[in-house]
Structure 1
Amino acid sequence: MSQKVLVFGDIGIDDTAALIYGYFDDNIDIVGVVANYGNISREKALANVHYVKNLFDISPSVEVITGAESPMTGEKPQYYPEIHGEYGLGPIIPPSVANEFQRENFFKVMEIIRRYSDELVIVNIGRLTSLAMMFILYQKEMSNVRKYYIMGGAFWTPGNVTAVAEANFYGDPMAAHIVLKYAHNTTIIPLNVTEQAIVTPRMVDYISQVGKAKILKPLLDYYYAFYKQRNPSIPGSPLHDVVTLMAVSYEDMFQFERLPVQIVRDLNSKARGQSIADIRPYSEPKKNRHRVALELDYRLFYVRFMSTMTGQQFG
């Protein structure tokens, strides 16, 4: 039976790849997408969700929801066109979205939570501002959500925005703190694990040749060009958001440990957005603990990603 999934994301290249993966994975039923600011503006994120829906003729029943426009810190968001392209889809310029698709409809998140109740899984693959707002407004109802999966943080590895911080936690550390304080049954898929989820140009070419998601090639070719420029030795593109969504169905791909996690919230500190896991065996038992992924079984990732995206059996 497929799992009902509500996705929160900023819908750049890897978020888009995650939505496409979710469309092809029979174990996942994406019932809604909350489009936020992040690597691109909220308006561009909304346009990208509608573009993907139209491209794959996805059911109109999949809700597209207008999320946060800026972080709880009160700062102006910083965008990253050098990584995701001006519109968030690499070289692709999606059609503009009509005004009726950009109206404020954030209340629909609560409708989805009430509709599916303890069947629902929330996957957050962007900044955590919108999800944090749900805990501020509807803390009791949010306890009905079955599970939470969060792409964020970096443990025992360099960050991708600063020396210590990953982008989603750095972009709004206040929101990350709120979510980790109140969310129950939460799994964190951090940067040190998602960076292992590499898709090589050869894999992308094969998907383009035999699969139905032809759009992946221009997206991931653009994405890889950025990573290759930054790190010439990298063999492919890390699919941070895809592997986080895959965790909903395939937890056996990961090694986990339950740990207390704190977020540095001092906006003026060089440690801003740093995620700190307390690995001491004598840490306070009353601290809220989250399941943190520590390792990825790449062979399983490869087999399942390629099987899903090509319609062929790998492994």
Structure 2
Amino acid sequence: MTTDKVIFDTDPGVDDALALYYLLRHPQIDLLGVTTVFGNAPVALTTRNARFLLRAWGHDAPVHAGAAGPLTPDMPPEFWPTSIHGDNGLGDHPIDLEPQDDPDTAAQFLIDQIRAHPGEVRVLAVGRMTNLARAVQMAPDIAGLVRDVTLMGGAFRVPGNITPAAEANIWGDPLAADIVFGAPWRVVAVPLDLTTRTFMDSAMLARLAQAGGPGMRLVADLSQGYVRFYQAAGYDGMLVHDCTAAVWLTDPDLFTLTEGEVRVLSDGIALGLTLMNPADRQGPLGAWEGRPRQFATLDGQPDAILDRIAQVCTA
């Protein structure tokens, strides 16, 4: 089996933890490194959390801290989703590492790795797109050298989860997202249109924890606050947004792509709205003129995606 060289850009984050575990367990994935960004917690905590998870799972991939705030000017004040991810970003699971004062090296790490492995690197970004946007601004040549970019983000035909207009990762830095969608590389967005249908119930999570050994038990343990968040809304389980995007890398046959130019609104009440001009639409392009056609997995097979997560995480 050939392996894919992957950089995981993340903000752990409970569902990020499951996605990272999936990447580490999958024999097709060669994890080159982890870059971190603000989002589910401040970047000092997301970086500490990434190191904690990698150590717990016996992996020595390098971790590079990235953006502490957005590129978008005049953003509303950031609020940390502690009701979902806990005060420490990992469901308040005990963590025996302290945050460090890391330099901001994520964008340069992305540039260096993409240049070192032309045509091979796949970037999976499941947080704000700030590191990616900064990397392609700093080194536009990487757009022609990267294999592809996968994003967990956007809400194209469904309501957002941070506002009615916007999904959280896009909302957190909409200018960065617009830059990423507008760069001349292949982007595949895995949006709420599909991830809100990919729901792991509590019984399945418990089965995976029992069958998957200590690594999967850690995922289940730190996910309990996340499950309680959904239980308060009447759902017994959790959405696996980020791991759904990870499955796209290994099992694209479980997804259905829609193609078109994408813009992201960066001001007003629709801040963070993702708008695609579908490839089959007839009419003037306006602000979409000159943009590259990108892709979004607006549909797919949620049950099969969950089955694949189970297979990999308990193998």
Query: What's the TM-score, normalizing by structure 2?
Result: 0.92
| Counterpart residue number, 1:302 | 306
- Alignment-mate amino acid for residue 309 of structure 1: C
| Counterpart residue number, 1:277 | 276
Residues 71-119 of structure 1: per-residue CA shift (max 9 Å, x gap): 112445321111111111103132234647x234333322212222211
Secondary structure at 1:163 match in 2: coil
Count of residue pairs the alignment pairs up: 304
CA distance in 2, matches of 1:235, 1:34: 32
Query: What's the TM-score, normalizing by structure 1?
Result: 0.92
Question: Which of residues 285, 294, 298 in structure 2 aligns to 1:290?
Answer: 294
Residues 129-169 of structure 1: per-residue CA shift (max 9 Å, x gap): 11100111001123200011011110111110001110011
User: How far 1:40 sits from its partner (Å)?
Assistant: 0.3
CA distance in 2, matches of 1:93, 1:112: 33
Matching of residues 79-94 of structure 1 within 5 Å: 79-94=80-95
Matching of residues 84-233 of structure 1 within 5 Å: 84-97=85-98, 99=100, 102-106=102-106, 107-212=108-213, 213-229=216-232, 231-232=233-234
Question: For the Cα contact (< 8 Å) 2:254–2:301, is it kept in 1?
Answer: yes
- Alignment-mate amino acid for residue 226 of structure 2: Y
CA distance in 1, matches of 2:219, 2:112: 32
- Alignment-mate amino acid for residue 149 of structure 1: T
Residues 215-255 of structure 1: per-residue CA shift (max 9 Å, x gap): 121222221111221x21x3421111001011011111111
- Alignment-mate amino acid for residue 105 of structure 2: N
Question: For the Cα contact (< 8 Å) 1:36–1:66, is it kept in 2?
Answer: yes
User: How far 1:49 sits from its partner (Å)?
Assistant: 0.8
Unmatched segments (≥5 aa) in structure 1: none
CA distance in 1, matches of 2:96, 2:135: 30
- Alignment-mate amino acid for residue 214 of structure 1: R
Unmatched segments (≥5 aa) in structure 2: none
Secondary structure at 1:15 match in 2: helix
Question: For the Cα contact (< 8 Å) 1:50–1:97, is it kept in 2?
Answer: no
Question: For the Cα contact (< 8 Å) 1:37–1:77, is it kept in 2?
Answer: no
Residues 150-202 of structure 1: per-residue CA shift (max 9 Å, x gap): 11110111110001110011111110111111141111111111111211111
| Counterpart residue number, 1:6 | 7
| Counterpart residue number, 1:40 | 41
CA distance in 2, matches of 1:125, 1:210: 26
Question: For the Cα contact (< 8 Å) 1:46–1:97, is it kept in 2?
Answer: no
User: How far 1:286 sits from its partner (Å)?
Assistant: 5.1
Q: Say if 2:23 is the partner of 1:22.
A: yes
- Alignment-mate amino acid for residue 64 of structure 1: V
| Counterpart residue number, 1:72 | 71
Alpha-carbon RMSD: 1.7
User: How far 1:23 sits from its partner (Å)?
Assistant: 0.8
Bigger mean CA offset, 73-82 vs 45-54: 73-82
Question: For the Cα contact (< 8 Å) 2:14–2:226, is it kept in 1?
Answer: yes
Q: Say if 2:258 is the partner of 1:254.
A: no
CA distance in 1, matches of 2:100, 2:44: 10
Question: For the Cα contact (< 8 Å) 2:72–2:266, is it kept in 1?
Answer: no
| Counterpart residue number, 1:245 | 246
Aligned-pair identity in percent equals 26
Question: For the Cα contact (< 8 Å) 1:148–1:183, is it kept in 2?
Answer: no
